[in-house]
Amino acid sequence: MSMCLQNKQNLLSKQIDLKGVEPVKGVLQSYAIADLRIPLPYEVRLAPITTYSIGDYVSRTIQYSEPYTYPRSSDHVCGFEDERICGFSQDRTDMFDWTRQNRLTQNPKRSPNTGPETDRSGTKDGYYMYIEASRPRAPGDKARLLSPLFNVTSVKGPKGSGRVPYCVSFYYHMKGKHIGTLNVLLRVRSIAYVDSVAWSKSSHQGPDWKKALFDISPSGPFQIMFEGIRDVGYEGDIAIDDVSITKGKCKQDNSVANSVLIGGSAKLHPQLLGSWTTFALLCFLHYR
């Protein structure tokens, strides 16, 4: 059964037919909800219905964010200068969050001997994203930052390949005797999502910003995830800046013409909201 409430009033109520398919533990069942309206937020409740009663439910809140459109085509590199951080989002399943910061907003009592003094450009008002390793953080704690979803299902790669290569480029800062690990994962979405480590670096890497770039060939809609893992001590701040994702294999100078604007309207168009809202089993919709 599904139910949609607006201002506590019932707008939609219907039962979802599983067509005689018995749910199997660990196997995803999906149902696409086509009744959502942009830009309203919703609370989605998932609950099983048995012969005897309705079981306990879990709920998630989904919110629509307006596409982030850069004012100039040259701004295809995300420097996190805007509060909307180019459409990136914090992963809700991790232990803590990445923090947006610049030289002017740094805590004067921050941990010494770790973290960058400025963003990659060296300006005091330029922003970057970083993880804070001080208390209450514990060894092994993870912070994950997710890019917008890039829908590449309708795009074909070079003749004979079937997949389009992309170049992921960014700058990282890993200074400190307690530096843990920075992983970059490729998350490919299908019925469920699959994460794989595409790049990784651990331990102290010196006092300067360093550039990393690598190729990916996703098999479907994908996201890039930056995962910072805290080590044993507080001198372990990790930072990233100037992230870009461009079509084609990595080369010294990626052309702006091939750039995929991170958070750009071409990749987060309102029509794609339906592809984000596929829910397992039975759903209850509540509008807040």
136-189 tens-digit pLDDT? 999 999 999 999 988 775 445 555 557 889 999 999 999 999 999 999 999 998
Which residue spans of the chain are classified as CATH 2.60.120.200? 75-260
> 2-6 and 283-287: which strand pairing?
parallel
Query: How much is the pLDDT for 41?
Result: 74
Strand partners, 171: 211, 241
CB 169 within 8 A of CB 244: yes
Cα–Cα dist 260/170, whole Å: 14
User: Is 2.60.120.200 the CATH number for 75-260?
Assistant: yes
| Radius of gyration for the alpha carbons in the chain, expressed in angstroms and rounded | 21
Placement of tokens 């979802």 in the chain: 16
State which amino acid sits at residue 194.
Answer: V
Mean of pLDDT over the chain: 78
CB atoms < 10 A from the CB of 116, how many?
25
Better-predicted residue by pLDDT, 286 or 98: 98
| Full-model pTM | 0.65
Residues 6+ apart with CB under 8 A from 228: 98, 131, 142, 143, 144, 180, 181, 182, 238
Rounded (10°) CA dihedral 160, 186, 68, 63: 120
Query: How much is the pLDDT for 199?
Result: 98
